[in-house]
Amino acid sequence: MSVATRVIACLDVDAGRVVKGVNFENLRDAGDPVELAKVYDAQGVDELTFLDVTASSGDRQTTYEIVTRTAEQVFIPLTVGGGVRSVADVDRLLRAGADKVGVNTAAIARPELISEISDRFGGQVLVLSADVRRRVGDDGRRTDDFVMTTHGGRTPVDLDAVEWCARAAALGAGEILLNSMDADGTKEGFDLELIERVRDAVHVPIIASGGAGRAEDFVDAVRAGADAVLAASVFHFGELTVAQVKHAMRAVGITVR
């Protein structure tokens, strides 16, 4: 029996509100995170992901409060990321009600953090949040090489993204949230080449993120190798429902919940 493909709604949270932009810029307000979480729960979404997009220490308290309020009202798995720097941060988020925790910037700075979290809590709680861009060549054009970024996609790092995902999985990351920063918010489809390349390199589940615009885009991502599909703006602004996405996948024989 095949494992069901998960549909995940992503809530990018800044100072207690859900925001959404294009390529993580020009953010606009999309609502209250707890109210949106309840809407998606009612729609049948399989998981929720909260990403604190500014992740400043001043917003940290806000994030814990939102996680607790959400966990009290919805009963689907909740992943929280943004500004997670230590085992203690993970512990506190899990106590607040998170089921899984995403790491990116701190793990790139100190890869041992991945194994520390995995050893303490188990790989099933650890999501590597990989914010990936295509390398830009000397001619200014995007190449076929993928590199990592940190600090919410704002800081490019000279680190091969496919190799990093493989290393993180080997260190204990239980799944990879694979976000194309180039495609983020464009609604022009997921970066299928990126998904295929990482699929070939890792054996842990991959969540495709960045670029969803049509229900068919989610189908393409699964066919490219994603185990779960994630979207934000198309759900927040009512352009697609969770049911429409699941219907499109069922129609081509993809197992969904």
Residues serving a catalytic function are: 12, 131
CA pair distance 41, 22, nearest whole angstrom: 25
Kindly report the number of other CB atoms within 10 A of residue 53's CB atom.
23
Tokens of 88: 């203690």
Closest CA to 178 of 68, 49, 70: 49
Which residue type is seen at 248?
Answer: A
Burial of 25 (0-12, 13-18, 19+ CB in 10 A): exposed
Q: What is the DSSP secondary-structure string of 220-254? A: HHHHHT-SEEEESHHHHTTSS-HHHHHHHHHHTT-
CA neighbor of 100 nearest in space, from 120, 70, 121, 72: 121
Are 148 and 113 within 8 A, CB to CB?
Answer: no
CA 165 – CA 177 distance, rounded (Å)? 10
